[in-house]
Structure 1
Amino acid sequence: MVTKPVRLLLVEDNPADVDLILDALTNATVRSRVEVANDGEQALAWLNAVETLPDLIFLDLNLPKMGGLDVLQKLKQTSRFKRVPVVVLTSSQADQDVLKSYDLGANTYTCKPLNLNDYRQVIRIIEAFWFGVAQLPPDQK
């Protein structure tokens, strides 16, 4: 179980989805510090600029400038980033997106729920697993 605040990177271009995820994390049992990147290029730039990497990345696939699959590929091909767990959180239910995400090293693939209560529940489940059950890599520089 994680007792310190966790660091999250949310890569999401839709402000409504950002608000939903931040709202769900506000009510979470684990304290978190969340950085938001609105596109893939911004996410990679932020990751390259920080000293300590996030504990978990929430990654949408449908992003401007650089799509989520391209971001995922770069993350998992870069030795500094490849151990950071990536939760694909997207509206796409396309089999090809699911398969490609796992082929590129996604740790899980989750479709965005359609209503607010389900959205909160999904975020709580992700939080409970990654910060209550899973053993995360130690702080990564």
Structure 2
Amino acid sequence: MKVLFIEDDKIETMKLLRTVSKLDTKHTITEAKNGEEALNILKSDADLPDIILLDLNMPKMSGIEFLQILKADSVMKYLPTIVLTTSENRADLLECYKIGIAGYVLKPLKYEDYEAKIKKVFEYWEVNELVKA
């Protein structure tokens, strides 16, 4: 799968890359440090990702602002977007689902728990019929 990973924290990025490298299947991870950078990647001539993993708390543009722009686009609105966040704020959760996310995953503190959750997310999306936008 082609994955767009939107995260401003370098440690979180390293965690994801380390976890994905341990999976049986190979995935292409494109990194963006914020929502603006992600939109530039999505609007470039590059192929669109199969899924997007999105942090909510980022500089320049929050994850929710990014989602609003993404889901307003006639083509990009079909990209499955999974929020990967530390925010347990119920208002964030409800707003994200209202906008149209495909999932909301809380980042656990322990690396082993993080690894297990990410593995499940990838396994789930590997068996889904993904829209090729």
TM-score range relative to shorter protein: over 0.9
Question: How far 1:30 moved relative to its partner?
Answer: 2.1
Aligned to 2:2, the other structure's residue is in SS state: strand
Per-residue CA shift, 1:83-135, capped at 9, x if unaligned?
11000000100000000000010110011111110111011000110102x21
Aligned to 1:82, the other structure's residue is in SS state: helix
Question: How far 1:50 moved relative to its partner?
Answer: 3.2
The range that moved more, 42-51 or 58-67, is 42-51
RMSD value, Cα: 0.9
Q: Which amino acid aligns with 1:135?
A: E
Q: TM-score, normalised by structure 2?
A: 0.97
Please give the alpha-carbon distance, in whole angstroms, between the structure 2 residues aligned to 1:119 and 1:49: 31
1:58 and 1:87 in contact (8 A); partners too: yes
Question: How far 1:17 moved relative to its partner?
Answer: 0.5
Q: Which runs of 5+ in 1 are unaligned?
A: 1-5
Q: Which residue of 2 aligns with 1:135?
A: 129
1:12 and 1:36 in contact (8 A); partners too: yes
Q: Which runs of 5+ in 2 are unaligned?
A: none
Q: Percent identity between the aligned chains?
A: 35
Q: Which residue of 1 aligns with 2:119?
A: 124
1:8 and 1:34 in contact (8 A); partners too: yes
Q: Which residue of 1 aligns with 2:23?
A: 28
Per-residue CA shift, 1:48-107, capped at 9, x if unaligned?
013310000000000100000000111111012011100000010000000000001011
